[in-house]
Amino acid sequence: MSYGIFSSVYDILTENVEYERIADRICSLLHENGVDGGLLLDLGCGTGTLSFLLEQKGFDVIGVDASEDMLSVANEKKYDEDSSALFLCQKAEELNLYGTIQCAVSSLDTFNHIDSIEKIEKAISLVSLFMDMNGIFIFDMNTPYKHKKVLGNNTFVYDMDEVYCVWQNSYDENSERTDIDLDFFIKNEDNEDYARYSESFSEYVYKIDNIVDIIKKCGFTLLATTDDYSKNEPSDTTERITFIVKKTETIFKDELK
């Protein structure tokens, strides 16, 4: 999935995301665990908004995303941000860095876009492979509750000045997947007519216990889980769960599946 048209309007559609709050919370969690700088991996960085905020807070950032279109937007923004962040086009389960990192983040349900539990394990194991001992990895996922009760078979409409978006979900409990169909109506240059574009992709539903098992298998110790990026513990109605994990065991390349 390239997210061609989606990438061009992604920042508009995510204007309500509290990136500053997320960045502050991530930095607070890293500080609590002895990480106050160094090389940070932003896995699934999208258009780079969080990458730039974390760079401004003192980290050297490598942003990785599987979408060339998302990274094209990130690189365009890079000059306006006066940023030296490095952006790489790689799938999470094929991560290949040039050296080791001190910490990593993965936000806004990146892992739900990976289509198998085996690939998730490979991605987390590769983060571990490239991370220094005692490094911290913070990542989030949409919960089964959110897929069933919030996304479900619902339709959402976003009416912005620059774009009108109809977001339709179809939840399949048997395949544990939510299929997402997007219709974009984007103003032409004359600002009088709209052009229509469509894109589709899927998010996959994973049990929290399975993710916890993978964390342990990949050389990490689970420090905490929270309700989104708050200080609250997850509940039965948590929509996004955040994992805070610490690398405590060495993982070797020949051990990877």
Residues 167 and 126 in one domain: no
Chain-centroid distance, C-alpha 18: 14
The pLDDT of residue 38 is: 96
Confidence at residue 186, expressed as pLDDT on a 0 to 100 scale: 86
What does the alpha-carbon distance between residue 190 and residue 199 come to, in Å, rounded to a whole number?
Answer: 24
Question: Which of 54, 92, 109, 35 is CA-nearest to residue 218?
Answer: 92
Report whether 180 contacts 169 (CB < 8 A): yes
**Which of residues 180, 204, 228 is at a domain's end?**
204
The residue ranges of DSSP E strands in the chain, in sequence order, are 38-43, 59-65, 86-89, 101-106, 131-142, 155-159, 163-172, 177-187, 194-204, 220-227, 240-247
Q: Which residues contact 175 (CB under 8 A, 6 or more apart)?
A: none
Section 147-175 average pLDDT: 93
Same domain, 245 and 137: yes
* pLDDT the model gives residue 1: 52
Mean pLDDT of 92-100: 96
Report the C-alpha gap between 104 and 129 in whole angstroms: 12
CB 149 within 8 A of CB 157: no
Distance CA 246, CA 60 (A): 19
Residue 147 confidence (pLDDT): 96
Residues 9 and 135 in one domain: yes
12 and 137 fall within a common domain: yes
Same domain as 53, residue 35: yes
Q: Identify the band that residue 58 occupies on the pLDDT scale cut at 50, 70 and 90.
A: very high
User: 204, 219, 244: which is the final residue of a domain?
Assistant: 204
Same domain, 231 and 166: no
Structure tokens at 198: 């469509």
Question: Does residue 2 register a pLDDT over 70?
Answer: no
The total number of structural domains in the chain stands at 2
Q: What is the pLDDT of residue 243?
A: 98
CATH number of the domain at 110, please: 3.40.50.150
Task: Please check whether residues 216 and 124 belong to one and the same domain.
Answer: yes
Mean pLDDT of 117-141: 97
Statement to judge: residues 170 and 230 lie in one domain: no
* Cα gap 222→219, rounded to integer Å: 10
What percentage of the chain carries pLDDT values higher than 90? 84
- Domain boundary at 182, 204, 226, which? 204
19, two tokens: 């990136």
Q: What is the pLDDT of residue 5?
A: 81
What is the CATH number for 150? 2.20.25.110
Confidence of residue 188 (pLDDT cuts 50, 70, 90): confident
pLDDT for the residue numbered 182: 94
> What is residue 224's predicted lDDT score, i.e. its pLDDT?
98
Short-list 111, 97, 121, 69, CA closest to 257: 121
Owning domain of residue 191: 146-204
Co-location of 96 and 128 in the same domain? yes
Q: Say what the pLDDT of residue 253 is.
A: 67
Is residue 195's pLDDT more than 90? no
Same-domain check for residues 93 and 181: no
State pTM to two decimals: 0.94
Task: Return the pLDDT at 256.
Answer: 67
Q: What is the pLDDT of residue 176?
A: 93
Q: What is the mean pLDDT of the chain?
A: 93
In sequence order, which ranges of 47-190 are alpha helices (DSSP H)? 49-56, 68-80, 117-129, 144-145
Residues 216, 110 share a domain: yes
Same domain, 115 and 238: yes
